[in-house]
Amino acid sequence: MAKDETNPPIPSRAQRKHCHALRDTYFSCLDANNIEDPADRGKLCAKERENMFNSGCPKSWFTYFEELRAMKIKQERMYRDMPKRPVADRSR
């Protein structure tokens, strides 16, 4: 039976744990170099990203991890920059 490239095998729990650990190492490198958008990393952190790629992590996870990181950073910035609203007086 030919390997179906559109539906790669589902990673085991151990493989997922390993991929998440590699992702955390990659993100730590991005954080250490003050890189918010992984597309702007240039050659920085290339080794960490390649380790994730070469370890058998599903390719679709790269995009997901990087998009999730960008969304979280944007969300944190939005909450941080949001004007503080006064708390309503509930003593009535």
First to last CA, the chain: 72
| Phi/psi at 23 (5° precision) | -60, -45
The model's pLDDT over 33-63, given as tens digits with 9 standing for 90+, comes to 988 887 777 788 888 888 887 887 888 888 8
| Mean pLDDT in residue range 59-71 | 87
pLDDT computed for residue 4 by the predictor: 54
The CA R_g of the chain, rounded to the nearest whole Å, is 19
Cβ atoms of 60 and 51 within 8 Å: the answer is no
The interaxial angle of helices 13-32 and 59-81, nearest 10 deg, is 50
The model's pLDDT over 71-90, given as tens digits with 9 standing for 90+, comes to 999 999 998 888 877 766 56
User: What is the spatial distance between Cα 73 and Cα 91, in angstroms, rounded to a whole number?
Assistant: 37
Assessment of whether the complete model's pTM goes beyond 0.85: no
